[in-house]
């Protein structure tokens, strides 16, 4: 296993009208190639801030972050982000939304035929070949998220970063996209870091679950290895004692942090 992301003693401080706000402190995390990592914790614990640091959308106030042995100094095509809001351009078709990202990454080195094929391959990967000419307003919320995932994967990133990508979807659509994501990650061997509030989602998808302490000055409280065999089937896991043991461990951590928060 090759290290793809390394976070070394990272901290993040924001300047506000009330003074300095310490969002994160002492973050140390190593993510191996092909790992699926989820970040979980109560609201305000800095999950999205840590994701944005890895994305290069924020630069740390202290410490260092690396991707593929190079220091992260800003956004880059080796790190693609999928947000809760699909962020599709409404005046472009599904094909064109993906092609735009592909052209930006590979336009200087590949001809238009190769760029088009990359785009079509990405649509096929998320089972949306039939929707290539449709506009965002013509497709469902789940399909929009699949286009967003396809756009990210089409750029062949070293790391796929996902900030609650299924949080705004209904339960059935969410479950379907979780299953699709597991298949896509297995096919592409992608390295994934995903923010979630959903304990079941974290256990179903993850190789490791990074549990954050409460903010301010949040840090990593525990890291849980999810040693369930792959591929995973949600129906089979429903009766798996070890699945429930892992789920209980995450819930216990969250309940303890909630009790501490209420007592403070």
Quick one: 22 exposed, middle or buried, by C-beta within 10 A (0-12, 13-18, 19+)? Answer: middle
In the prediction, which pLDDT does 261 show? 67
114-173 pLDDT, tens per residue? 999 999 999 998 889 999 999 999 999 889 988 998 998 888 888 999 999 888 788 888
Residues 45 and 218 sit within 8 Å (Cβ to Cβ): yes
Average pLDDT, the chain: 92
Residue 260 or residue 152, greater confidence: 152
Residues 251 and 243 sit within 8 Å (Cβ to Cβ): no
d(CA 150, CA 38): 20
- pLDDT bin (cut points 50, 70, 90) of residue 257 is confident
**Number of other residues whose CB lies within 10 A of the CB of residue 3:** 14
DSSP state at residue 67: E
In the prediction, which pLDDT does 60 show? 97
Residue 77 or residue 257, greater confidence: 77
Give yes or no for residue 180 having a pLDDT over 90: no
In the prediction, which pLDDT does 229 show? 94
Read off the pLDDT of each residue in 186-212 and give the average, rounded to a whole number: 95
8-63 pLDDT, tens per residue? 999 999 999 989 999 999 999 999 999 999 999 998 899 999 999 999 999 999 99
Q: Which of 155, 187, 175 is nearest to 80 (CA)?
A: 155
d(CA 242, CA 12): 36
In the prediction, which pLDDT does 153 show? 87
pLDDT more than 90, % of the chain: 70
- pLDDT bin (cut points 50, 70, 90) of residue 260 is low
In the prediction, which pLDDT does 249 show? 97
Domain 3-78+159-263, CATH number (from 1.10.760.10, 3.40.190.10, 3.40.50.300, 3.40.50.720): 3.40.50.300
Residues 48 and 100 sit within 8 Å (Cβ to Cβ): no
Give yes or no for residue 258 having a pLDDT over 80: no
Q: Going by C-beta distance under 8 Å and a sequence separation of 6 or more, which residues neighbour residue 152? A: 80, 81, 82, 101, 160
Give yes or no for residue 187 having a pLDDT over 90: no
Give yes or no for residue 248 having a pLDDT over 70: yes
What are the extents of the domains in the chain?
A: 3-78+159-263, 86-156
């Amino acid at each position: 296993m090759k290290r793809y992301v390394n976070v070394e003693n990272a901290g993040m401080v924001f300047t506000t009208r009330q003074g300095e706000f310490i969002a994160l402190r002492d973050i140390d995390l190593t993510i191996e190639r092909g790992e699926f990592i989820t970040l979980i914790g109560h609201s305000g614990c800095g999950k999205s801030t840590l994701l944005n640091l890895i994305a290069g959308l924020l630069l740390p106030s202290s410490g260092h972050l690396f991707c593929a042995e190079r220091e992260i100094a800003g956004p880059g095509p080796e790190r693609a982000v999928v947000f809760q809001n699909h962020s599709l351009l409404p005046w472009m078709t599904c094909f064109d939304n993906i092609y735009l990202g592909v052209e930006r990454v590979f336009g200087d080195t590949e001809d238009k035929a190769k760029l088009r094929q990359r785009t079509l391959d990405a649509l096929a990967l998320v089972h949306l070949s039939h929707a290539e000419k449709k506009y965002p307003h013509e497709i469902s919320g789940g399909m929009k998220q699949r286009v967003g995932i396809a756009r990210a994967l089409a750029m062949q990133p070293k790391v796929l970063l996902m900030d609650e990508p299924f949080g705004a979807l209904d339960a059935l659509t969410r479950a379907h996209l979780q299953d699709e994501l597991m298949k896509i990650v297995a096919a592409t061997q992608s390295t994934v870091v995903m923010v979630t509030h959903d304990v079941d989602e974290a256990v179903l998808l993850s190789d490791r679950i990074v549990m954050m302490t409460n903010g301010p000055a949040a840090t990593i409280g525990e890291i849980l290895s999810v040693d369930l065999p792959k591929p995973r089937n949600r129906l089979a896991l429903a009766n798996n004692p070890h699945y429930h043991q892992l789920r209980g461990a995450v819930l216990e951590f969250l309940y303890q942090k909630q009790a501490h928060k209420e007592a403070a």
